Chains A and B, each alone.
Chain A
């Protein structure tokens, strides 16, 4: 899709466990896992804001746009 999710990198840098982040944000660990792997179709602003609040970061630290390669 061109959007990379770097949440696992930020989590590792901040030494935060997925379980704690999921509990703070109010989503299941399964959904957080899917988000980390970029296996979701979208993320709500509310979810993004809670993640940024907990990890003290900006949306751009979590999401990155990479142009898709065209043949």
Chain B
């Protein structure tokens, strides 16, 4: 195809089948992960999440703390879900035989950016959560807890790597587009 707007379509049945499966898995995880965190917080109570994150336990808890804490606890997983939606878009394009296009590069870049944001949220949310959840504690037992785990740090690194790969993909898409205009 030589139309400048045409996409380079390739037939890779194995990869397309795998991509279809990964697209559905990404969508499933994008639903299950935030839903699990919300269920854990609002049904199981914040204690489980606070303990898992090594955060100080609240002595007294007002409803606004419970709601705000729940919203804060959801931020990293919501960003991760948004990243998974971008990944699903990428895999849907692969499934359709589109491997080199500006859309792929955009989706991959979006995935990378959201993974980085999720990693940043993973670093920033625990201190905020500790402040919110111990706000009603008696003076002297309020806490500001910092917790740096390997997961958010790895997410930041992983996001950076993906961002670089997305930049290479964008260049590859340009080349593929140019190649498609040579008869």
Show the binding face of A for B, using Cβ within 8 Å: 27-28, 30-32, 34-35, 39-44, 47
Contacts and interface: CB of A to CB of B under 8 A. Distances in A.
Interface in B1-43: 1-3
A25 to B, nearest CB: 9
A35 B178 CA distance: 14
Interface in B144-183: 178, 181-183
Given A34-B3, A41-B181, 12 more contacts: A27-B183, A28-B1, A30-B1, A30-B3, A31-B2, A34-B2, A39-B2, A42-B181, A43-B183, A44-B182, A44-B183, A47-B183
24 contacts: A30-B1, A30-B2, A31-B1, A31-B2, A32-B183, A34-B2, A34-B3, A34-B183, A35-B2, A35-B183, A39-B2, A40-B2, A40-B181, A40-B182, A41-B178, A41-B181, A41-B182, A42-B181, A42-B182, A42-B183, A43-B182, A43-B183, A44-B182, A44-B183
Contacts of B181: 40-42
A53 to B, nearest CB: 16
A34 B181 CA distance: 9
Contacts of A39: 2
Contacts of B183: 27, 31-32, 34-35, 40, 42-44, 47
